[in-house]
Amino acid sequence: MKIKLLGTGTSQGVPILGCQCEVCLSIDDKDKRLRSSALISDDDLNLVIDCGPDFRQQMLAAQVSHLEGILLTHEHNDHIIGLDDIRPYNFRSGSPMNLFGSKNVLNELTQRFPYVFNTLNKYPGAPEVTQNIIQKGIPFLWGKKWILPIEVMHGKLPVLAYRFGNTAYVTDVNYISPDSMLQLTGLDNLILGVLQPLPHYSHFNVEEGLHVIEALKPKQTFLIHCNHKMGLSAHFNKLLPENVRLGYDGQIIEANW
């Protein structure tokens, strides 16, 4: 299995529009962050986690010629608003796109994209989707492999993290219950949302994220959903434990599933 980090930034991305800080003006590619998303490739199947506003750009950059499904973590715009751009994959495959998400998230999508889910007088060429409702703690089959959805909290909003064998992807989080922590033990790779050094009401800051990493003890951790307050990537990585690094756009993580 290969996991490609398509985006590692927060909802505004980095650089932020109009910002003149050293991170937003940096020429280092590792300081440029599209909205958080990842591509899971295994057995010639491609699966994307979230489809935010940079989805089209990310698919072009990663040269993704076919896409079989999208895992949705939650319903915030920076994770779903690129849904319309699945159309070329519909046209090429002749099949609907599989969407996997909680009932609440899929219901929310029907409100945001009524023309996609309208079965009466549907506009020709509108995106085609198949809804797959998944539940926290209940594994589901993707191809020949199992995926485990794990609930974490993003302020008051439930978010689904996903475990693929010994790799887990956990975005937009500021609390993980004891039960969910148990489901995240024994990891080789943890991809974890950590927003910034300062406290935040709905995201882990650096200190909180490091406490979680210390408790879970994954072999290596990649921080995502980072904003410009992290500072320059080259400088900040020197402050982290050896097995913890800022993830970066385009990074590939190879793992067993």
- For the stretch 182-227, pLDDT in tens is 999 999 999 999 999 999 999 999 999 999 999 999 999 999 999 9
| pLDDT tens for each residue of 66-109 | 999 999 999 999 999 999 999 999 999 999 999 999 999 999 99
CA torsion through residues 24, 27, 30, 32, sign = positive
**8 Å CB contact between 69 and 47:** yes
CA neighbours closer than 13 Å in the CB half-sphere of residue 211:
8
* pLDDT number for residue 113: 96
120 or 178, which is more confident? 178
Q: Kindly tell me if the per-residue pLDDT of 123 is higher than 90.
A: no
* pLDDT number for residue 209: 98
Q: Kindly tell me if the per-residue pLDDT of 124 is higher than 90.
A: no
| Nearest alpha carbon to residue 68 among 90, 97, 34 | 97
* pLDDT number for residue 122: 85
* pLDDT number for residue 138: 98
Q: Kindly tell me if the per-residue pLDDT of 119 is higher than 90.
A: no
* pLDDT number for residue 142: 95
**8 Å CB contact between 197 and 229:** yes
Residue 150, judged by CB atoms within 10 A of its CB (0-12, 13-18, 19+), counts as buried
- Residue-by-residue DSSP string for 76-103: -HHHHTTGGGGHHHHHHHSSPEEEEE-H
| pLDDT tens for each residue of 130-180 | 999 999 999 999 999 999 999 999 999 999 999 999 999 999 999 999 999
Query: If you average pLDDT over residues 46-55, what whole number do you get?
Result: 98
* pLDDT number for residue 151: 98
Written out in words, the top-level CATH class of the domain with range 2-254 is alpha beta
High-pLDDT (> 70) share of the chain, %: 100
Give domain limits for the chain.
Answer: 2-254
* pLDDT number for residue 104: 97
Q: Looking at the DSSP assignment, which residues form a beta bridge with residue 7?
A: 37
* pLDDT number for residue 162: 98
Q: Looking at the DSSP assignment, which residues form a beta bridge with residue 69?
A: 47, 98
